[in-house]
Amino acid sequence: MTPAVTLTFDDGPDPVWTPAVLDALDAAGARATFFVIAPRAAAHPALLERMHRAGHTVELHCDRHVRHTELREDQLAADTVTALARLDELGVRPRLWRAPWGITTPASEAVARAHGLRLVHWTADTEDWAGHAPDTMLRRVEDAICDGAVVLAHDGLGPGATRTGCANTVAVIGPLAALAADRGLRCEPLTSGAVATP
């Protein structure tokens, strides 16, 4: 397989920022994976269609953005069933699951198994939610950009975000893809054989 890195985007889709992220990915010749919040996906089906047309993949983040440590297993199972049903109506059948804040519990594992989902984490975190400048984010992750790296960023504002928009995330996509290319890495979506487990 060609050496590759995956850019991942959580907490979208967002009607303002996701199109800008998609434009930046197009311009960089990069394909990515989006871990969506299901009600947001249901509200913006055209953005999901655009993701698919461009060769990106759409996977599960959550229905309600709640830490798994704050949910009983039956509550987590119900959240997942609701999210998967919403996504199924959009023709999306996730194989991968990134939990809110990346926090997983034994219940996460059980629910994942029940739905044929694989929990995935990340190997490099831009911490873009904090509003860092693009250069700062690039420095944060540059040492970790290698074959198999999974980079965490956000195309929407989640409950923990301390910024008002995703412009800096949009701005860092081109430089990130260029850095990957310098290292002989393509930007490709995560596959269900993904290795970045929690």
Residues that bind Zn ion (CB under 5 A): 10-11, 100, 158
The answer to whether the bond into 159 is cis (omega within 30° of 0) is no
Q: Shortest Cβ distance from residue 18 to Zn ion (Å)?
A: 14
Out of 10, 11, 79, 128, pick the active-site residue. Answer: 10
Which residues are CB-neighbours of 88 under 8 A, at least 6 positions away? Answer: none
Active site residue 147: no
Active site residue 128: no
Q: Shortest Cβ distance from residue 62 to Zn ion (Å)?
A: 7
198, amino acid identity: P
Q: Which is nearer to Zn ion, 19 or 102 (CB)?
A: 102
Q: Which is nearer to Zn ion, 61 or 180 (CB)?
A: 61
Q: Shortest Cβ distance from residue 71 to Zn ion (Å)?
A: 15
β strands within the chain, DSSP E: 4-10, 33-37, 57-62, 96-97, 118-119, 124-125, 150-154, 186-187
Q: Shortest Cβ distance from residue 149 to Zn ion (Å)?
A: 19
Q: Which is nearer to Zn ion, 100 or 189 (CB)?
A: 100
Quote the CA–CA distance of 4 and 146 in Å, as a whole number. 8
Dihedral angle, C-alpha 123, 2, 190, 54, nearest 10 °: 130
Q: Which is nearer to Zn ion, 30 or 129 (CB)?
A: 129
Taking residue 197's Cβ as centre, other Cβ atoms within 10 Å add up to 9
Quote the CA–CA distance of 126 and 139 in Å, as a whole number. 9
Out of 132, 154, 155, 182, pick the active-site residue. Answer: 154
> Token pair for residue 196?
């970045």
Catalytic residue set: 10, 154
